[in-house]
Chain A
Amino acid sequence: IPSVPQARKASLARFLEKRKERLMSA
């Protein structure tokens, strides 16, 4: 199912980006 890895990749990118933001604002 091609859409599944794509969804995971987008989620992963978002998670890592938000993690950076959280750590910078801490």
Chain B
Amino acid sequence: PSLSQFNEDTLQQRLQALIESAGEGWTYAIFWQISHDFESPTGDNTVVLGWGDGYYKGEEDKEKKKKSSNSNPAEQEHRKRVIRELNSLISGGGGGVSDESNDEEVTDTEWFFLVSMTQSFANGVGLPGESFLNSRVIWLSGSGALTGSGCERASQGQIYGLQTMVCIAAENGVVELGSSEVISQSSDLMDKVNSLFNSNN
């Protein structure tokens, strides 16, 4: 396997290991990876945090899942259409193939995760950017903390049913975790990120 394939596989394994070993109700984990924008208009070598990989676990509580997908019918139709198109794109345009997963409700957290794949952040901007620039942990717990943070990504997360969002800076990017439950800050999670995502461990 190529080196990039290797990195991709291990990134996925590390994100999965992080969520599965944390033992709390994390809904997803994303690794925002740094890259360098050499075509910046200012001519600077600008650091950008873009999608590296993500692991979506989902909500275990079925009632919560139900509650988190109560978007209006038009919005649901839009989400299902996007999922159908993406499924067709990934499967090489095998249009017409019926797939039951295309007609299932797309929950708010699934949608938030999916939309995240299209996003990137300049260094210092947004939740991941701020975490990376200052090499610090941002832990927002409780819907009030998400909306009160003044950060658009956190506000969006709250709208899509998240109650906890965490960004932990690592060597080559930022690990973001989100949950539809309220999860208190723990050094255990930060230690896990450190051991999984920093090479000096």
CA distance A24 to B86 in the complex (A): 19
Complex: chain B residue closest to A9, CB-CB: B90
Chain A interface size range = 20 to 34
Residues B114-167 near A (CB distance < 8 A): 114, 117-118
Bound CA–CA A13/B114 (angstroms): 11
User: Do A20 and B99 contact each other (CB < 8 Å), given the known contacts A1-B35, A4-B35, A8-B117?
Assistant: yes
Q: Which of A1, A16, A23 contacts B100 (CB 8 A)?
A: A23
A residues 1-26 with Cβ under 8 Å of B? 1, 3-4, 6-16, 18-20, 22-24
Question: Number of B interface residues, CB 8 Å?
Answer: 25
- Looking at the assembled complex, report how far the CB atom of B175 sits from the nearest CB atom of chain A, in whole angstroms: 15
- B181 surroundings in chain A (CB, below 8 A): none
With a cutoff of 8 Å between Cβ atoms, the chain B residues found around residue A6 in the complex are: 4
Residue pair A7, B51 in contact (C-beta under 8 Å): yes
A7 with B58, Cβ < 8 A, contacts A15-B113, A23-B100 known: no
B53, A16: Cβ atoms closer than 8 Å: no
Most buried by B among A6, A12, A18, A24: A12
Q: Quote the shortest CB–CB distance from A7 to chain B (angstroms).
A: 6
Taken together as a complex, chains A and B put the C-alpha atoms of A9 and B35 apart, in Å, by 17
In the complex, which residue of chain B has the Cβ closest to the Cβ of A22? B58
Residues of chain A lying within 8 A (CB to CB) of residue B117: 8, 11-12
The distance in angstroms between the C-alpha atoms of A22 and B90, with both chains bound, is 18
Bound-state CA distance A4–B50 (Å) is: 8
One of A4, A11, A22, A23 near B54 (C-beta < 8 A): A11
User: What is the distance, in angstroms, from A20's C-beta to the closest C-beta of chain B?
Assistant: 4
- Bound-state CA distance A9–B51 (Å) is 11
**Chain A interface (Cβ within 8 Å of chain B)?**
1, 3-4, 6-16, 18-20, 22-24
User: Which 8 residue pairs are nearest across A and B when measured between Cβ atoms?
Assistant: A20-B101, A13-B90, A23-B101, A8-B117, A23-B104, A11-B53, A8-B51, A4-B50
- Known A-B contacts: A15-B113, A19-B83, A24-B101. Give 7 more (CB < 8 A): A3-B4, A12-B114, A14-B12, A15-B56, A15-B114, A20-B99, A22-B58
